[in-house]
Amino acid sequence: MTVQNGSVEYSHINLPKIKFTKLFIKGEFVDSVSGKKFETVDPRSGEVIAEIAEGEKEDVDLAVKAAREAFDKGPWPRLPGCERRRIMLKFADLIDENVEELAALDTIDGGKLYKMGKTVDVPSAAETIRYFAGAADKIHGSTLKMSCELHGYTLHEPIGVVGHIIPWNFPSQMFSMKVGPALAAGCTMVVKPAEQTPLSALFYAHLAKLAGIPDGVLNVVTGYGHTAGAAISSHMDIDKVCFTGSTEVGRLVVQAAATSNLKPVSLELGGKSPFIIFDDVDVDKVADLALQGTLFNKGEVCVAGSRVFVQEGIYDKFLVKLVEKVKTWVVGDPFHPNVHQGPQVDKNQYERILSFIEHGKREGATLLTGGKPLDRKGYYIEPTIFTDVADDMTIAKEEIFGPVMSVMKFKTVEEVIKRGNASKYGLAAGIMTNDLNIANTVSRSIRAGVIWINCYFAFDRDLPYGGYKMSGFGRDLGMESLNKYLQVKSVAMPIHDSPW
Ligand code: NAD
């Protein structure tokens, strides 16, 4: 280990061999129709890791054809739920058996912490597949009493061919939370991973085949958003699109769905979540949580609590603690076990974050810590904290998706509810207080899909999450998410001489 400019470098790790670089269509790894490839880059160095098949419209067409056939004629939607469950459990076990390799792929592709990948992201992807496997044989409609001359019931049928368009910040978890419920429901699908992080999705496709998921059920088309992604959202033969990504692209996806076959869309979009700290908390503990709330996964988290509102009685003390703690926050090679923050996912994201930091300085916020890139190769940025941030500054309004916190002071409960809600987004919120009345009032008043009281990032498979306002619609995880992949069919028939 060598320490440079406060950063940690680590090179004693066997980097994974890249085994899968082609599109996965109908159970086979294939070149793109055009033969084109794109480079995926290691954000630790900016160097190319591998060339990946660049799927475009023609490739999406082939993948959709495979998924359509698998849905219309193949066994998957017709299997008893317990059979789908058995195969999905095998898939989950294979994920667990390959945890180190999958975690390493997400680290070299996305700059994510290897130790988190190994202990959280990939095991949690396996658990998500298991969670939904458990639902596969419990998908039932209901019996309807109707009037005494009618008997009715509902059937919950798989919605059909699903297009999943996913982002790069949690490649393994995103893959599993989209694919898991869709498989359980009996759907077939085309997955387009983000162009920044295609490697683990291809590996998951390989494991799905080994587990016995029939050919054509799960297809992966790597490629760019404006070509492969757009071909999915505008496809006439896709029955549903599940999108996670930016609000701007979410809007394009809805437009494409509306002007093609009016397929239903669910959107998990951006956020600018408030992290609200009241006077009565343990400042030391909450400062730790606030730092995690913004800096976790180098701030590339849709639910990052990057608008930190601090009540005036503890404001100064909180800032002192924050500065103390940020000094122990290590930025460096994400393979190193002591590192807290790796590089941003790519050059674009790195430059975008630095330009937001410049906005903050220009618009008059006070830079408390950080504010610069690290002086080394790769896309590393110092943990950056601004104070004296006004609600109308760019850094308080726009999603930065990087290690940048804005700290604001407030006086009253009413004031912080109003300011917390003054955002076009409504994804998450954190409320730190020991006062139950305040916790309940604020949690009911904040217009966001997930509220964490005295905790943050408390995700579990049972907890549905998704947004209000421009953070999207529809929910991932939880049993709610299964409904996105089901159609409800109502059946009614006359009944004569009913005894009741
Ligand atoms: P992005 O919208 O640029 O890309 C997301 C995906 O959409 C990628 O696969 C991309 O290739 C694809 N895409 C791009 N243009 C497209 C188009 N015209 N048609 C169809 N698909 C297209 O977002 P990003 O930069 O990859 O991810 C960051 C954003 O994602 C942030 O705004 C973040 O908040 C959001 N996000 C939200 C959640 C959530 O659950 N709400 C989770 C993670 C990320």
pLDDT, tens digit, 9 for 90 and up, residues 445-464: 999 999 999 999 999 999 99
201 lines ligand 1 (CB under 6 A): no
Helical segments of 363-435, H only:
394-397, 413-421
Instruction: Give 385's pLDDT tier (boundaries 50, 70, 90).
Output: very high
Task: Kindly give, in sequence order, each residue whose CB lies less than 8 Å from that of residue 491, ignoring residues fewer than 6 positions away.
Answer: 152, 153, 154, 155
Q: pLDDT band for position 145 (50/70/90)?
A: confident
On the question of pLDDT at 120 being above 50, the answer is: yes
pLDDT, tens digit, 9 for 90 and up, residues 51-106: 999 999 999 999 999 999 999 999 999 999 999 999 999 999 999 999 999 999 99
pLDDT at site 1: 32
Distance CA 222, CA 244 (A): 16
Confidence (pTM): 0.96
Q: Which residues contact 171 (CB under 8 A, 6 or more apart)?
A: 106, 109, 110, 193, 194, 197, 199, 200, 201
Per the CB < 8 A criterion, the answer to whether 387 and 407 are in contact is yes
Mean pLDDT of 364-374: 97
Contacts by 409-414, CB closer than 8 A, 24 or more apart: 409/309, 409/310, 409/311, 409/312, 409/315, 410/276, 410/309, 410/310, 410/311, 410/312, 411/311, 411/312, 413/438, 413/441, 413/442
Give the pLDDT mean for 110-129.
Answer: 98
50 lines ligand 1 (CB under 6 A): no
Q: What is the pLDDT of residue 7?
A: 42
Q: Are 338 and 8 in contact (CB under 8 A)?
A: yes
Does pLDDT of 488 surpass 60?
A: yes
CA-170 nearest atom, ligand 1: 43
**Catalytic residues, which ones?**
268, 302
Q: Closest residue (by CA) to atom 39 of ligand 1?
A: 268
* Sheet with 450-453: strands ordered across: 366-369, 384-387, 404-410, 307-311, 274-277, 428-432, 450-453
Tell me the mean pLDDT in the region 295-310.
Answer: 98
Verify whether ligand 1 is closer than 6 Å to residue 87 (CB atom).
Answer: no
CA of 151 to the centre of ligand 1 (A): 45
Q: What is the pLDDT, as a whole number, of residue 11?
A: 57
Q: What atom of ligand 1 comes closest to residue 232's alpha carbon?
A: 20
Burial class (CB within 10 angstroms; exposed 0-12, middle 13-18, buried 19+) of 148: exposed
Structure tokens at 221: 């088309």
Q: How confident is the model at residue 10 (pLDDT cuts 50, 70, 90)?
A: low
Percent of the chain scoring above 90 in pLDDT: 94
In this predicted structure, the answer to whether residue 4 has a pLDDT above a threshold of 50 is: no
Query: Which CA distances in Å does 370 have to 145, 384, 386, 392?
Result: 65, 4, 9, 22
Question: How confident is the model at residue 148, as a pLDDT?
Answer: 78
What does the pLDDT read at residue 410? 98
DSSP label of 241: E
Ligand 1 site, residue 165, Cβ cutoff 6 A:
yes
Q: Whose CA is nearest to atom 27 of ligand 1?
A: 245
Distance of CA 163 to the CA centre of its chain: 16
Which comes out higher in pLDDT, residue 15 or 461? 461
As a whole number, mean pLDDT of residues 2-22 equals: 65
d(CA 399, CA 279): 27
State both tokens at 19: 């085994």
Residue closest to 396 by CA, chosen among 349, 432, 360? 360
Output the CA 6–ligand 1 centroid distance in Å: 32
- The rounded Å distance from CA 237 to ligand 1 centre is 22
Q: Where are the alpha helices (DSSP H) in 73-153?
A: 81-97, 99-110, 114-116, 122-133
- According to the model, what pLDDT value does residue 147 have? 82
Residue nearest ligand 1's atom 19 by CA: 230
From ligand 1's centre to the CA of 402, what distance in Å?
15
Mean pLDDT of 142-146: 90
pLDDT the model gives residue 13: 67
Could you tell me the distance, in angstroms and rounded to a whole number, from the CA of residue 152 to the centre of ligand 1? Answer: 42
